[in-house]
């Protein structure tokens, strides 16, 4: 055998060895690609399951027990299991201060972990890949934008006790203002704008903190909307901003005068029309402690604004609901203290008869009427309204948010 033949045989043996090594490397690479692909797919499914569970749990907030139960129904232990992968699921609830509305919790956290078995990489000693997914949902939180006008009764009866005696500290008015602040604590000022209308109106926006008078109703230029829709009522840390127009006005308004609320409702809607955002749901939260019994004198004496002030309030709200699709809430505070009932400007009962309670029920959308809360219940009611305004607005948030 000559030298060239021996050389070709040696080279042929080397090629076989190199080919075998290449095949091993190629199989390892293919196995890595396939197994990593399986892990990637499993992680995406695990994250989707965690997201679904968190969002489902968020719909039940602020009840922590119901939130946890609902989250587990939609996690890997419930409606979104992973194929061929066993996962461990942990559900917790917590408070996110910057979102607000933490009563007692406003977020649900779902953590999922799983070990994904390998197929090809087992030959290289890699049996499993450990994957993890985490998702946080808040509710109520500012996923859906809303424009809200608060309408506040600041009549003289808000500065009287249950026997009609003067209450210099205006306890009822203070309770109402605290209730609105509770409402604001649940709002996300990034997406939810809030304004304030009052009755009796102010002679001008600049005089919003002056003691009102019944005669203010008689000016067609009177200022019912004393704070336009605004979004600066909360600071970055989630606390109320005392220097904002809205919060500072709530702190300074005074009570006096008689009751006429139809125009206040109309002016609140006018503010929503003028400064509200296109395509955003309008909401009016109406608060009063009694019956309407007067109307502006620039209307004729035959006008329902003067003859039927309670019923005109119902009409004004009804027209707004039907034409603007505005959602109304009404809060009737201490109606039992109002013995006068719904009367015309002459002092005679409205005809056809209507009670203050009937009027306020009809002003609100069905299910949105709150009757005769005591002072201790008022904050709870405003919190309930805020949660209802934001109901269904559970959304995923950054896990690092505080």
Domain ranges of the chain: 9-138, 146-397
> How far is Cα 301 from Cα 297, in angstroms, rounded to an integer?
8
In the predicted structure, residue 326 carries a pLDDT above the cut 60? yes
pLDDT, tens only, 121-140:
777 777 888 889 999 988 76
* Mean predicted confidence (pLDDT) in 308-321: 96
Average pLDDT of the segment spanning 39-54: 84
The two tokens of residue 330 are: 């009404």
- Measured CA to CA in angstroms, residue 217 lies from 21, 202, 372 at distances of 95, 9, 26
In the predicted structure, residue 402 carries a pLDDT above the cut 80: no
Three state DSSP letters for 332-343: ECCHHHCCCCCE
Q: How far apart are the C-alpha atoms of 303 and 297, rounded to whole Å?
A: 10
What mean pLDDT is predicted for residues 276-284?
95
Contact 154, 255 (CB under 8 A): yes
What pLDDT shows up at residue 62? 81
Question: pTM for the whole thing?
Answer: 0.70
The sign of the CA dihedral 237, 240, 243, 245 is: positive
> Superfamily assignment of 146-397 in CATH?
von Willebrand factor, type A domain (3.40.50.410)
Mean predicted lDDT score pLDDT of the chain:
86
pLDDT exceeds cutoff 80 at 336: no
Q: Considering only residues 77 and 179, tell me which one the structure prediction assigns the higher pLDDT.
A: 179
Q: What is the pLDDT of residue 373?
A: 66
């Amino acid at each position: 055998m000559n030298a060239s033949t021996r050389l070709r045989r040696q080279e042929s043996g080397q090629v076989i060895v190199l080919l075998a090594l290449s095949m091993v490397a190629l199989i390892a690479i293919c196995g890595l690609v396939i197994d990593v692909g399986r892990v990637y797919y499993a992680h995406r499914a695990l994250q989707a399951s965690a997201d679904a569970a968190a969002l489902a749990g968020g719909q039940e907030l602020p009840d922590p027990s119901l939130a946890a139960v609902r989250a587990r129904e939609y996690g890997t232990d419930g409606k979104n299991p992973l194929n061929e992968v066993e996962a461990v699921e942990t559900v917790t609830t917590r408070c996110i201060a910057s979102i607000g509305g933490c009563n007692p919790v406003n977020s649900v956290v779902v953590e999922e972990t799983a070990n994904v078995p390998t197929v090809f990489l087992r030959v290289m000693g890699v049996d499993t890949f450990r994957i993890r997914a985490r998702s946080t949902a808040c509710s109520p939180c500012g996923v859906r934008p809303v424009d809200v006008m608060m309408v506040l009764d600041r009549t003289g009866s808000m500065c009287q006790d249950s026997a009609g005696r003067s209450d210099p500290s205006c306890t009822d008015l203070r309770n109402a203002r605290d209730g609105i602040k509770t409402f604001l604590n649940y709002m996300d000022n990034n997406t939810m704008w809030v304004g304030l209308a009052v009755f009796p109106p102010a002679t001008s926006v600049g005089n919003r903190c002056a003691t009102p008078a019944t005669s203010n109703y008689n000016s067609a230029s009177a200022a019912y909307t004393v704070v336009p829709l605004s979004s600066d009522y909360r600071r970055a840390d989630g606390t109320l901003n005392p220097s904002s127009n809205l919060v500072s006005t709530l702190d300074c308004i005074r009570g006096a005068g008689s009751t006429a609320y139809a125009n206040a409702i109309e002016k609140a809607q006018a503010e929503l029309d003028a400064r509200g955002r296109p395509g955003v749901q309008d909401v009016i939260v109406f608060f009063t402690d009694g019956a309407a019994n007067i109307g502006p004198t620039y209307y004729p004496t035959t006008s329902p604004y003067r003859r039927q002030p309670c019923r005109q309030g119902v009409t004004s709200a009804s027209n707004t609901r039907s034409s603007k699709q505005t959602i109304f809430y009404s809060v009737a505070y201490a109606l039992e203290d109002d013995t006068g009932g719904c009367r015309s400007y002459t002092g005679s009962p409205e005809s056809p008869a209507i009670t203050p309670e009937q009027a306020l029920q009809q002003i609100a959308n069905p299910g949105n009427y709150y009757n005769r809360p005591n002072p201790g219940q008022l904050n709870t009611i405003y919190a309930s309204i805020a949660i209802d305004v934001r109901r269904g607005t559970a959304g995923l948030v950054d896990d690092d948010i505080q």
